[in-house]
Amino acid sequence: MINSQTVLESKKITVEFSGFKAISNLDFKVTNNKVHFLIGPNGAGKTTLLDVICGKTQVSQGKVVYMEDQNLVKLKDFKIVHIGISRKFQTPSIFQNLTVYENLIIALKQDKGLWATITAKITKNQQKDIEEMLHLTGLIEEKDQQAGALSHGQKQWLEIAMVLLQDPGLVLLDEPIAGMSKVERMKTGEMIREIAKDRTVLIVEHDMDFVKEYADIVTVMHEGQLLCQGSMEEVQNDPRVREVYLGR
The residue count for the chain: 248
Distance from C-alpha of 50 to C-alpha of 67, rounded to nearest angstrom: 17
CB of 188 to ligand ADP, least distance (A): 20
Beta pairing class for 6-17 and 35-39: unpaired
Pick between residue 52 and residue 104 the one whose CB is nearest to ligand ADP.
Answer: 52
176 makes contact with ligand ADP (CB under 6 A): no
Report residue 78 CA to chain centroid gap.
Answer: 15
227 makes contact with ligand ADP (CB under 6 A): no
SS3 (DSSP) at 126: helix
Stretch of residues binding ligand ADP (CB under 6 A), selected from 40-48, 91-99, 178-186, 193-201: 40-48
- Determine which residue in the list 13, 30, 47, 164 makes contact with ligand ADP, applying CB under 6 A: 47
CB of 122 to ligand ADP, least distance (A): 37
- Determine which residue in the list 12, 43, 78, 79 makes contact with ligand ADP, applying CB under 6 A: 43
Pick between residue 84 and residue 176 the one whose CB is nearest to ligand ADP.
Answer: 176
168 touches 54 (CB < 8 A): no
Distance from C-alpha of 14 to C-alpha of 125, rounded to nearest angstrom: 42
40 makes contact with ligand ADP (CB under 6 A): yes
- Determine which residue in the list 7, 44, 85, 192 makes contact with ligand ADP, applying CB under 6 A: 44
SS3 (DSSP) at 10: strand
The candidate with the shortest Cα–Cα distance to 157, out of 125, 182, 129, 190, is 190
SS3 (DSSP) at 191: helix
- Determine which residue in the list 8, 28, 48, 150 makes contact with ligand ADP, applying CB under 6 A: 48
Distance from C-alpha of 28 to C-alpha of 138, rounded to nearest angstrom: 33
- Determine which residue in the list 22, 35, 105, 217 makes contact with ligand ADP, applying CB under 6 A: 22
List contacts with ligand ADP (CB under 6 A): 17, 20, 22, 40, 42-48
